[in-house]
Amino acid sequence: MIDFKKELNSEQLEVVANGDGYCLVLAGAGSGKTRVITYRVACLLEKGVKPENILLLTFTNKAAKEMLSRVEKIIGKKPDGLWGGTFHAIANRILRATAPLLGYQSNFSVLDQDDSETLLKSCVKELHFFDSKRFPSAGLIHSLYSFSRNAQITLTEAVDWKNSSFSRVAGDIEEATNLYQKKKKSSNVMDFDDLLVNWHEVLQKPAVLKKLADQFQYILIDEYQDTNRLQAAIVKLLASVHKNLLVVGDDAQSIYSFRAADINNILEFPKEFPKAKIFRLETNYRSTPNILNLANDVISQNKKQFKKKLKSHLAELAHPQVAVFDSPFAEANFIRQRVRELQEAGHALRDLAVLFRAAFHAQILEIELAKAGIPYEMRGGMRFFERAHIKDTISILRVVNNLKDEIAWFRVLEIFQGIGHETARMIITKARQSKDLPELFISGIRDGLNKNAQKGWDDFVSIAKILNEKKDQSAGDAVEGILKSVYADYLEDKYENAKDRLDDIKQLGWYAKGQKSLNHFLSDIALDESFGKKNARENQDRLVLSTIHQAKGLEWEAVFLINLASGCFPNERALGEPGGEEEERRLFYVGITRAKRHLYLTYPTTGQRMNYNRPSPFLEDIKDGLIDRKVSDGLGGFTDELPTIQIEEMTTPAPKKKKIDWRVKSFLKDIEDL
């Protein structure tokens, strides 16, 4: 027998003991939601419910394995027969028995992302859409099509919403995806989205629905705020007989709308199921009261939410600190110094994290850490100088700087339409014989190319001419030239996140502004092992650098939230979307609640092009007394020095400090410097 009263707090016990019927469990950050789900399953098994009558759904294989492992540990044996896994894994299992009802054979194959994009690309080529006009890449088409299916909207609506620049070819995109669907079915294959779409479709068959809805007496779902409309529709059908559906989630951590997750699934659960019970888990076992007070204040600004207030199980420590710097370099230098101090205070690097809204926000910090010899790992994106578009940009610069650079030539020419390996080799031979770019332009290369390759060559020449004019000005000007070239169009056509990639290149250009020349800039990157190369073994202790999206569900002793400037966080593009501001605030909340003991919020007062940065409106909205605000004095210190790292927990609240009008001081200092 399990002693549930001993193992669970009162909030958790209430859910485990009374989780019959439709139940919504609002589980705040660090409140033990996985514990609740696994003990609820153990409780059902102890009551005599057969494992095969329980369905446990989650979003990652890792989470599914962890939950099943915990259940086994609690009950003391493996729960053979229990249905547990991701939505896609369970769909695959069910469709193996029911696919013939939809015209598939049971031995259907499942396409991964690369396979899906390869098939889509062949469909677009078969329809000759690549030949006649600017057309999105197969990867971008797949992303738009996937979003439309999971959000249960039309493909045209998805194109208008996600990438309106391709609305002009929405009909052609739809024709390509229709052919893609036909080819999949004739080949007896499904992609990941088909697994969910076909699961939902087969549930429309009365006999299938009756069998499955009868079988699953209890359905439990983790991270319900991350479900999309299609998943919610499937779950509703499965629970239609026994009406035992327990969903666990936190609307305050719904941050994946770009993947078609729909926050309304959790917000409207009581409306969808009027007799639903609502439970709240508000006791946090992760963060200090000082951090939670800030988190509660931040999320209280959202209108569309279930009101809840996290309370800490820990003693108080120092307030979270906002630190303002005159440049991203000063911000990066502060973080480097603070990381060293935390190390000296006994923290491992792996227990520290720097979080950001977008990966390019960390570029200056990456350089600072690498030069200081602090090992780090990048999550939610590749290290800056390893990213494809950064490598492309540097290769283009290398070609302009040195016509004989064969390795760079091959990478550059791969970008352009119609230029294959043999054509590239011919061009490189001509380049090595030319004394400069103007001579190469008139060397007659174009005359020897077919029509398709001529278009690719013309695109390269258009970039090279821009850079040839700028290469003697500065490396930064040369990078800006690439941003104004057809390479920007190439990124727009190929990638869904093209704007983020262009922002990366802008950041590279800003860094390059400080270099003496293009040649010096390229040499600096090549000679310094820090750039683009992993400086840590896999098992080495490393500082974590991560996007906030990638950090969800994780925790660290100390967290730095950086570049909290207006226009950067919240993201300007996200603000233009319905519900965008509230999702950005939820993202800020998620970042804050990753910290256990120490939290630093930072931003530079100057950004790219030396423009003046205002603080994020999220910072301006914070109530007095919840944070300590500090302004850099420009000399490596602060107008009110940051306190040293506290190793022992405080038994009394940190004393309130006199408020510093930090924005005014920072602004006056800028004027004084001018």
Residue 651 scores a pLDDT above 50: no
Domain parsing of the chain, residue ranges: 4-95+195-281, 113-187, 300-375+537-631, 386-531
Residue 532 scores a pLDDT above 70: no
Domain 4-95+195-281 shares a fold with domain 300-375+537-631: yes
> Residue 369: how many CB atoms within 10 A of its CB?
23
Q: Nearest-CA neighbor of 581 among 298, 218, 261, 247?
A: 298
Q: What is the DSSP letter of 374?
A: -
Q: What is the mean pLDDT of residues 613-641?
A: 77
Question: pLDDT tier at 512 (50, 70, 90 boundaries)?
Answer: confident
Residue 574 scores a pLDDT above 70: yes
DSSP string, 549-570: HHHTT--EEEEEE---BTBTTT
Percent of the chain with pLDDT over 70: 88
Residue 658 scores a pLDDT above 50: no
Q: Nearest-CA neighbor of 334 among 639, 602, 597, 610?
A: 602
Residue 633 scores a pLDDT above 70: no
**pLDDT score recorded for residue 473:** 67
- What is the CATH superfamily name and number for domain 4-95+195-281? P-loop containing nucleotide triphosphate hydrolases (3.40.50.300)
CB 349 within 8 A of CB 542: yes
- Residue 546's Cβ-side half-sphere holds a number of Cα atoms within 13 Å equal to 21
**Alpha carbon of 333 to those of 261, 368, 543: distances in Å?**
37, 7, 15
**pLDDT score recorded for residue 636:** 56
Q: What is the DSSP letter of 281?
A: E
Tokens of 366: 């990456």
> Residue 618: how many CB atoms within 10 A of its CB?
22
Question: pLDDT tier at 342 (50, 70, 90 boundaries)?
Answer: very high
Question: pLDDT tier at 490 (50, 70, 90 boundaries)?
Answer: confident
Taking only the tens place, the pLDDT of each residue in 406-456 is 778 888 888 887 788 788 888 888 888 888 888 887 777 888 888 878 888
Kindly list the catalytic residues: 33-34, 222-223, 253, 594
Taking only the tens place, the pLDDT of each residue in 224-246 is 999 999 999 999 999 999 999 99
**pLDDT score recorded for residue 476:** 83
Q: Which residues touch 352 (CB under 8 Å, ≥6 apart)? A: 339, 342, 543, 544, 556, 557, 558, 559, 560
> Residue 371: how many CB atoms within 10 A of its CB?
12
**pLDDT score recorded for residue 645:** 46
More confident residue, 610 or 353: 353
**pLDDT score recorded for residue 540:** 80
Q: What is the mean pLDDT of residues 354-373?
A: 88
Rounded distance, CA 476 to CA 610, Å? 13
Residue 333 scores a pLDDT above 60: yes
Question: pLDDT tier at 62 (50, 70, 90 boundaries)?
Answer: confident
Residue 203 scores a pLDDT above 90: yes
For 614, phi then psi, to 5°, come to -90, 155
**pLDDT score recorded for residue 109:** 86
> Among the listed ranges 34-48, 115-129, 266-280, which one has the minimum average pLDDT value?
115-129
**pLDDT score recorded for residue 4:** 93
HEC assignment per residue over 133-188: CCCCCHHHHHHHHHHHHHHCCCHHHHHHHHCHHHHHHHHHHHHHHHHHHHHHHHCC
**Alpha carbon of 381 to those of 244, 277, 367, 468, 595: distances in Å?**
40, 40, 16, 32, 21
Residue 582 scores a pLDDT above 90: yes
Taking only the tens place, the pLDDT of each residue in 108-136 is 888 888 888 888 988 988 888 865 557 88
Residue 61 scores a pLDDT above 50: yes
> Among the listed ranges 155-169, 477-491, 570-584, 625-639, which one has the minimum average pLDDT value?
625-639
Question: Which three-class secondary structure state does DSSP give residue 49?
Answer: coil
CB 56 within 8 A of CB 220: yes
Residue 534 scores a pLDDT above 70: no
**pLDDT score recorded for residue 654:** 37
Mean pLDDT across the chain: 86
Q: Which residues touch 640 (CB under 8 Å, ≥6 apart)? A: 628, 630, 631, 657, 660
- Residue 204's Cβ-side half-sphere holds a number of Cα atoms within 13 Å equal to 8
Residue 382 scores a pLDDT above 70: no
Taking only the tens place, the pLDDT of each residue in 539-560 is 689 999 999 999 998 999 999 9
What are the residue ranges of helices labelled H in 248-362? 264-267, 269-272, 289-299, 328-344
Percent of the chain with pLDDT over 90: 51
- Whether omega before 100 lies within 30 degrees of 0, making that bond cis, reads no
Question: Which three-class secondary structure state does DSSP give residue 355?
Answer: strand
Q: Which CATH class is domain 386-531?
A: mainly alpha
**pLDDT score recorded for residue 23:** 98
Question: Which three-class secondary structure state does DSSP give residue 204?
Answer: coil
Dihedral, CA of residue 226, residue 232, residue 236 and residue 237, to nearest 10: -130
Residue 326 scores a pLDDT above 90: no
**Alpha carbon of 362 to those of 38, 93, 295, 487: distances in Å?**
37, 42, 23, 23
Q: Per CATH, the architecture of 300-375+537-631 is what?
A: 3-Layer(aba) Sandwich (3.40)
What are the residue ranges of helices labelled H in 418-545? 421-433, 437-441, 451-470, 475-483, 486-494, 498-512, 518-527
Rounded distance, CA 25 to CA 39, Å? 14
> Residue 394: how many CB atoms within 10 A of its CB?
23
**pLDDT score recorded for residue 221:** 97
Q: Which span out of 265-274, 378-387, 615-624, 646-655 was modeled with the highest average pLDDT?
A: 265-274
